[in-house]
Amino acid sequence: VECSSAEEALAAAGAGADIILLDNMAPQELHVAAAQVKATHPGVTVEASGGIVLGTLPQFLGPHIDVVSMGCLTHSAPALDFALRV
């Protein structure tokens, strides 16, 4: 379930969500929300997403973050023009 606040994340986890995606949060806010989710629902997977790039990745890593999604890996990938002849 995609959540944009700690309150939404706790409600989603309480309703039975297996994975909580914390989207577009500042690193400090993200870590607080993730810690709250893990404290009350330790079996829930917590994913960080939204605006994360290689340069800011370390700020989003932490003990309560299980997965990090980075759209920049796909939407910023350069095109490759090639052909295959069989």
pTM: 0.82
Which region, left, alpha or beta, applies to residue 60 given φ > 0 means left and ψ of -120 to 50 means alpha?
Answer: alpha
pLDDT above 90: residue 74: no
Average of per-residue pLDDT values in the chain: 93
Confidence (pLDDT) at 81: 85
> How many C-beta atoms surround the C-beta of residue 7 within 10 A?
11
Task: State percent of the chain over pLDDT 70.
Answer: 97
* Mean pLDDT confidence for 71-83: 78
What is the pLDDT at residue 50?
92
Q: Which fold has domain 2-73?
A: TIM Barrel (3.20.20)
Please tell me what DSSP assigns to residue 50.
S
What is the pLDDT at residue 5?
96
pLDDT in tens, 34-65: 999 999 999 999 999 998 998 999 999 999 99
